[in-house]
């Protein structure tokens, strides 16, 4: 199974901050890496697929990059509605696996 | 509006079975793979399994730890997918989500639509 490791597990930030979240895969997964946002008590929502493609309707302050085994989600200027938990997921092979999540909290 | 709605959750005793329907609307249900995920209280997301569209054989794959107890089926004529859960254990307690899975040439790529989830509590 491919293990996905996210860091940090949580972070505190202020509105307007630039935030980066890293996701590392235990083996190369090409670009089969997705990012989801989950707000408290809600279902996850797709933000970015295929490492760097933004889902339609997702604000352009979100971006994704990386390749191979290391991937990054960047929020260029954190907004109040961005406080949530973020998960990366690999779909390179089954079982489809997620990182442990990164909780973005208000500083 | 593209939508998935799960139902069928509730309190169930250990060892019993439960079937969760997932109703789709706003898209051509039969053209898409459907997948199930779960999230235990306070925990992260876990893949349960998925079922391919009929165009790719309609077969299913499962998390190894669940295979044999859980199964996924689909009724495209009614736009419903099902998660059948047997021999339920306390550790199956979770919110269960149904998702639309985007595939390319049958390969899973990403989940672009999620239902709101249904809660299953396994307890005596």
* Tens digit of each residue's pLDDT (9 = 90 or more) over B80-102: 999 999 999 999 999 999 999 99
Q: Which of A50, A87, A91 sits opposite B45 (nearest CB)?
A: A87
**CA distance to partner chain A, nearest, from residue B46 (Å):** 7
Find the residue in A nearest to B116 (Cα). Answer: A43
CB contact under 8 A, A94 and B61: yes
A6: Cβ–Cβ under 8 A, 6 or more apart, which residues? A21, A22, A23, A24, A86, A87, A88, A99, A100, A101, A102
Q: How confident is the model at residue B49 (pLDDT cuts 50, 70, 90)?
A: very high
* A63-83 mean pLDDT: 97
CB contact under 8 A, B47 and A101: no
Answer whether A74's CB lies under 8 Å from A64's CB. yes
* B61-81 mean pLDDT: 96
* A18-34 mean pLDDT: 97
- For residue B105, pLDDT beyond 90: no
Q: How confident is the model at residue B47 (pLDDT cuts 50, 70, 90)?
A: very high
- State the DSSP H helix or E strand holding residue B60, giving kind and residue range, or none if neither: strand B60-62
Q: What is the pLDDT of residue B107?
A: 86
CB contact under 8 A, B97 and A44: yes
Q: How confident is the model at residue B106 (pLDDT cuts 50, 70, 90)?
A: confident
Q: What is the mean pLDDT of chain B?
A: 97
The pLDDT tens digits for A86-101 are 999 999 999 999 999 9
The token duo for A14 is 């202020």
* B112-123 mean pLDDT: 98
Return the exposure string of A35-70: e unless at least 16 CB atoms fall within 10 Å of the residue's CB, then b. Answer: bbbbeeeebbbbbbbbbbebbeebeeebbbebeebe
A81: Cβ–Cβ under 8 A, 6 or more apart, which residues? none
- For residue B108, pLDDT beyond 90: no
Query: Whole-angstrom Cα distance, residue B86 to residue B92?
Result: 10
- For residue A42, pLDDT beyond 90: yes
* A45-73 mean pLDDT: 97
Q: Which of A46, A87, A98 sits opposite B110 (nearest CB)?
A: A46
- By percentage, how much of chain B surpasses pLDDT 90? 94
């Amino acid at each position: 199974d491919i293990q996905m490791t996210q860091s940090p597990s949580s972070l505190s930030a202020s509105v307007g901050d630039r935030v980066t979240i890293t996701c590392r895969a235990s083996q190369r997964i090409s670009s089969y890496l997705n990012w989801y946002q989950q707000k408290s008590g809600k279902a996850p929502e797709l933000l970015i697929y295929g490492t760097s493609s933004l889902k339609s309707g997702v604000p352009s302050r979100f971006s994704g990059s990386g390749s191979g085994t290391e991937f990054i989600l960047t929020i260029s200027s954190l907004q109040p509605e961005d406080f949530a938990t973020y998960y990366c997921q690999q779909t390179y092979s089954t079982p489809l696996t997620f990182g442990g999540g990164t909780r973005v909290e208000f500083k | 509006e593209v939508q998935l709605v799960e139902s069928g959750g509730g309190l169930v005793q250990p060892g019993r079975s439960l079937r969760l329907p997932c109703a789709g609307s706003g898209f051509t249900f039969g053209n898409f793979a459907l997948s199930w995920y779960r999230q235990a209280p306070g925990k992260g997301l876990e893949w349960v399994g998925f079922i391919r569209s009929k165009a790719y054989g309609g077969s299913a794959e499962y998390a190894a730890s669940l295979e044999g107890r859980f199964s996924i089926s689909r009724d495209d004529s009614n736009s419903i997918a099902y998660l059948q859960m047997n021999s339920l254990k306390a550790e199956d307690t979770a919110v269960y989500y149904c998702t639309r899975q985007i595939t390319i040439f049958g390969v899973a790529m990403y989940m672009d639509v999620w239902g709101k989830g249904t809660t299953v509590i396994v307890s005596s």
